[in-house]
Amino acid sequence: MAFLSGLGVIVGWLAVFSLMHQWGEVESLLVMAGAALASWRVAMRGNFSSGLMLAQLLHLIYVVVFCLRYDIPDQGIPRTTHLYLLTVALVGYINYQRRHTLAQLALIASTLLAFIILSSADLIYPFAHPMQHRLRIYIPLVNVILATGILCAGIVAMQADFSRRSEKIRAIQHALYNDEFVLFYQPLLNATGQISGAEALLRWQLPGKGVVPPSEFIPAAQQAGLMPAVGDWVIGSAFRELAHWQANPATSHLTLSINVTVDHLMKPEFVARLIQQADRAQIPPARVKLELTESVFASDIDAVVAKMVALAAAGFRFSLDDFGTGFSSLSYLRRLPLEQIKIDRSFISGASENRKGAVIARNIARMGLELKLEVLAEGIETAEQWSLMQDFGCTAFQGFYFSRPLSIEDFRAFSLQNRQQGPA
């Protein structure tokens, strides 16, 4: 909305200024159009929040410069271009609801401050180049209509977005209370192709719509602060299944990897509750591997280390997921009681496609081994990738080449078949 509405206003004024032969204004608008497209490209490359903030900053700068250079109050005709700053501030507020950052708050405050200053003072400087009077007669009306229209559209869009998110949050709460979530299990294999465990993966079995992947509901659950509750459900369900494995000699050796979010880990009661859940399910903590992402390094690292040390003392094991894609540093890795790192699938695919990708994957594996950590390669999709990552020193593997995530019945069948087949 922000990109399209901003670009629409720019194109509209380009046409007006071109017809009026106001070439200075045309040049400035062309620069702004290029900047808007650059912001759009940043957003479309997966950095939506950053792209939106860049667009806000560029619009803020442009509106301020335009007001000071061209939109100069005269003969009772007020300055009105600064009205667009209200729309910029609204876009900032919407973006802040998506991702709470200090930079976004600073942008909102700067935008509102600029609006107040431009509203309360003429601010006529020597570099000003006022527009022709005949053009200025119509600009206030057009600006008021456009700015108000965009602002109203933004409010409607914001309300619609909030309504959608509220509906999804209610649906997630309903799923928790009505046991609509289900765990799938993706096998983990060793270098000989024998199953050594599984990763528990959350899915939503939505009545009438089938299985919903986590990418469609986890972000909403995180924003609503529901991940600790969802995480508790996952841990409880996973522990019950692990208890079944422990009772069967054919599966008693298997480990179960469970993803834990940072906000769940940082709950004061997390350590005590996890130990209590393991005791209640009568499972050995050594069979549980807690997977953390590199986002833990953006939290209170001392508190994270303390919790991990306490859980490690109780027997739980830790794996660092998506290694190489986030905030990790070697100093942090030395402090954390990790047993395993998982090389992100993007490095695995890159290793089989080009030499640079292979160098990166090999060095990540070597670093893990030098730190005396087990190295798991995830995202294995071909025999070539499996062989290559074995050559790099990886000893654990996961990916569609071996198996997709399976329902519990299918996983049990897979485990039995794998055991009967023996080493590859």
Element (H, E) at 263: helix 262-265
pLDDT of residue 189: 95
Greater model confidence, 351 or 274:
274
Average pLDDT over residues 4-20: 57
Least Cα distance to 88 among 115, 129, 60 occurs for 60
User: Does pLDDT of 367 surpass 70?
Assistant: yes
The answer to which of 21-30, 174-183, 188-197, 270-279 has the lowest mean pLDDT is: 21-30
pLDDT of residue 289: 96
Alpha-carbon 132 to chain mean position: 48
pLDDT of residue 135: 67
Average pLDDT over residues 327-340: 75
Element (H, E) at 348: helix 345-353
Phi-psi group of 80: left, alpha or beta (phi > 0 → left; psi -120 to 50 → alpha; rest → beta): alpha
**CA-based end-to-end distance of the chain:** 54
Confidence band for 150, pLDDT divided at 50, 70 and 90: low
Place of tokens 């540093």: 329
Confidence band for 390, pLDDT divided at 50, 70 and 90: very high
User: Does pLDDT of 97 surpass 90?
Assistant: no
Cross-strand partners of 377: 343, 397
Average pLDDT over residues 166-174: 86
Average pLDDT over residues 266-289: 94
Confidence band for 3, pLDDT divided at 50, 70 and 90: very low
Average pLDDT over residues 83-103: 82
Alpha-carbon 50 to chain mean position: 12
Q: How much of the chain, in percent, has pLDDT values that exceed 70?
A: 80
- Choose from 2-16, 295-309, 389-403 the range with maximum mean pLDDT: 389-403
Contact 14, 30 (CB under 8 A): yes
Confidence band for 92, pLDDT divided at 50, 70 and 90: confident
pLDDT of residue 254: 93
Contacts 24+ apart (CB under 8 A), 221-227: 221/169, 221/172, 222/261, 222/263, 223/98, 223/165, 224/165, 224/169, 224/172, 225/263, 226/169, 226/172, 226/173, 226/176, 227/261, 227/263, 227/264
User: Does pLDDT of 412 surpass 50?
Assistant: yes
| C-alpha span between 406 and 414 (Å, rounded) | 9
Greater model confidence, 9 or 145:
145
| C-alpha span between 334 and 372 (Å, rounded) | 10
User: Does pLDDT of 188 surpass 80?
Assistant: yes
pLDDT of residue 325: 61
Average pLDDT over residues 102-124: 86
pLDDT of residue 249: 84
The answer to which of 2-11, 169-178, 210-219, 394-403 has the lowest mean pLDDT is: 2-11
Phi, psi torsion values for 26, nearest 5 degrees: -60, -45
pTM score, whole prediction: 0.70
Greater model confidence, 3 or 170:
170
Element (H, E) at 212: strand 210-212
Cross-strand partners of 343: 323, 377
Confidence band for 25, pLDDT divided at 50, 70 and 90: low
pLDDT of residue 11: 60
User: Does pLDDT of 359 surpass 70?
Assistant: yes
Residue 63, class by beta-carbon neighbours within 10 Å (0-12 exposed, 13-18 middle, 19+ buried)? Answer: buried
Q: How much of the chain, in percent, has pLDDT values that exceed 90?
A: 29
| C-alpha span between 54 and 104 (Å, rounded) | 10
Count the Cβ atoms, other than its own, within 10 Å of residue 1. 17
Note the CATH number of domain 180-421. Answer: 3.20.20.450
pLDDT of residue 244: 92
Cross-strand partners of 398: 378
| C-alpha span between 150 and 87 (Å, rounded) | 7
Contact 371, 333 (CB under 8 A): yes
Work out the mean pLDDT of the chain and round it to a whole number.
Answer: 81
Alpha-carbon 230 to chain mean position: 18
Outline which parts of the chain fall under CATH 3.20.20.450.
180-421
